[in-house]
Every structure is written in structure tokens, then in C-alpha cells.
């Protein structure tokens, strides 16, 4: 019977729990975007700390400005297929509901694929949260390997959303 290769999970755990004064081979990424939907404004932010190969921990916050955010914690893996095509998968099972102020487990995931030509990126994604499934399409401009901008459209609960945001890697 074949065995699962968990070496990247082990390496990620050791990098995260290692000596805080020893430089770790981890990348950090923060993305923030504003969303307009149902005549309201909302936001989404995600912080990821990952190995250079792509496997990492992700913390995602979503909400609008009238309530506390919903926080989701889980794993994310980026899979570069070539210089022009990449894919990612995220599984965020730990949820803190800011409205109900309750910690729970959920089946939240997102799958995406990105196409890059020079500094321009087209991203397509499908995701599922406890509230609804959603589809997203965005166009982005990557100014450098550390900073990028994006804007796009989403369809959530059969209603359109518009979003714009930025991401930085450090």
C-alpha cells in the first residue's frame, strides 16, 4: 500500500515552531480587497505563511463593516505548473463566526487557476463556504514579485459582486 508523503507538512510545522531568532525559509503574503454587493460594502483579507514550495497556513477574514468578521483558518497549497499557469487549493475548516460569536468546524474550500502573460494575470476560482458557493474571475497586474493589484467580478448566492484589492509578499 502506498504511503502518504507528509514531509512538507512536517517541514512547515518545524519552520513555524522553530527558533524565532533563526531565519526561516517561509514566505508571507497579505491580500486585502474591498467588495460591493447587495448595495453594501464588505471586505476580505487573507494572510498566508508558506514554504517556498507553496504549502502553508492561511487565515482569512470576511465581512462587512456592520458586524465582526468571520475568520477561517486552514491550509493552502500553490501548485505552479509552468511560468504562465499556476493553480491553488485552500481548505479552511476552522471557523469563528463573528456574528454569532461562536467557534465551529466547517467545510470551506477554494480552488483556483491563474494564467500569467508578462505582468498581467487572469484568475478563475470556485469556492464553497457554509453560506454559499461562489465563482470569481479577476484580472490583476503584478508590478513586482512582491506586489500586485487585482479587480474582478464574483457570483455568490446568484448575486453579482465587484471587488478590487492588492496583495504583497514579504
Give how far the C-alpha of residue 72 lies from the chain's centroid of Cα atoms, to the nearest Å: 10
Residue 121 CA to residue 163 CA, distance in Å, equals: 15
Residues written for the chain: 170
16, 57 Cβ separation under 8 angstroms: yes
Q: 21 falls in which pLDDT band (50, 70, 90)?
A: low
- pTM of the full predicted structure? 0.87
Mean pLDDT calculated for residue range 24-35: 90
The CATH number assigned to the domain holding 44 equals: 2.40.160.40
List phi, psi (to 5°) of 153: -120, 150
User: Would 70 be classed as within a structural domain?
Assistant: yes
Domain, as residue range, for 31: 7-17+25-169
User: Would 51 be classed as within a structural domain?
Assistant: yes
Could you tell me which residues come within 8 angstroms of residue 34 by beta carbon, excluding any fewer than 6 positions away?
41, 42, 43, 163, 164, 165
User: Would 1 be classed as within a structural domain?
Assistant: no
pLDDT tens-digit readout, 56-84: 999 999 998 888 999 999 999 998 889 89
* 128 pLDDT more than 90: yes
* 7 pLDDT more than 80: no
pLDDT tens-digit readout, 143-169: 998 999 999 999 988 899 999 999 999
* 1 pLDDT more than 50: no
pLDDT of residue 52: 84
Tally of structural domains, the chain: 1
DSSP 4-54: P--HHHHHHHHHHHS-TTSPPS-EEEEEEEEEEETTEEEEEEEEEEE-TTS
User: Would 2 be classed as within a structural domain?
Assistant: no
* 38 pLDDT more than 90: no
Greatest alpha-carbon span in the chain: 54
Mean pLDDT calculated for residue range 35-55: 91
User: Would 146 be classed as within a structural domain?
Assistant: yes
User: Would 114 be classed as within a structural domain?
Assistant: yes
Residue 5 CA to residue 9 CA, distance in Å, equals: 9
User: Would 37 be classed as within a structural domain?
Assistant: yes
* 138 pLDDT more than 70: yes
Amino acid at each position: 500500500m502506498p504511503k502518504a508523503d507528509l514531509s512538507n507538512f512536517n517541514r512547515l510545522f518545524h519552520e513555524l515552531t522553530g527558533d524565532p531568532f533563526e531565519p526561516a525559509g517561509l514566505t508571507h503574503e497579505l491580500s486585502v480587497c474591498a467588495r460591493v454587493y447587495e448595495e453594501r460594502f464588505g471586505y476580505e483579507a487573507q494572510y498566508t505563511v508558506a514554504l517556498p514550495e507553496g504549502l502553508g497556513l492561511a487565515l482569512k477574514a470576511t465581512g462587512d463593516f456592520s458586524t465582526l468578521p468571520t475568520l477561517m483558518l486552514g491550509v493552502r497549497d500553490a501548485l505552479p505548473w509552468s511560468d504562465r499557469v499556476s493553480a491553488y487549493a485552500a481548505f479552511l475548516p476552522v471557523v469563528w463566526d463573528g456574528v454569532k460569536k461562536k467557534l465551529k468546524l466547517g467545510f470551506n474550500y477554494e480552488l483556483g487557476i491563474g494564467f500569467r502573460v508578462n505582468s498581467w494575470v487572469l484568475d478563475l476560482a470556485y469556492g464553497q463556504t457554509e453560506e454559499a458557493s461562489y465563482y470569481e474571475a479577476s484580472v490583476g497586474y503584478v508590478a513586482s514579485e512582491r506586489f500586485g493589484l487585482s479587480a474582478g467580478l464574483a457570483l455568490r448566492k446568484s448575486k453579482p459582486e465587484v471587488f478590487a484589492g492588492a496583495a504583497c509578499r514579504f
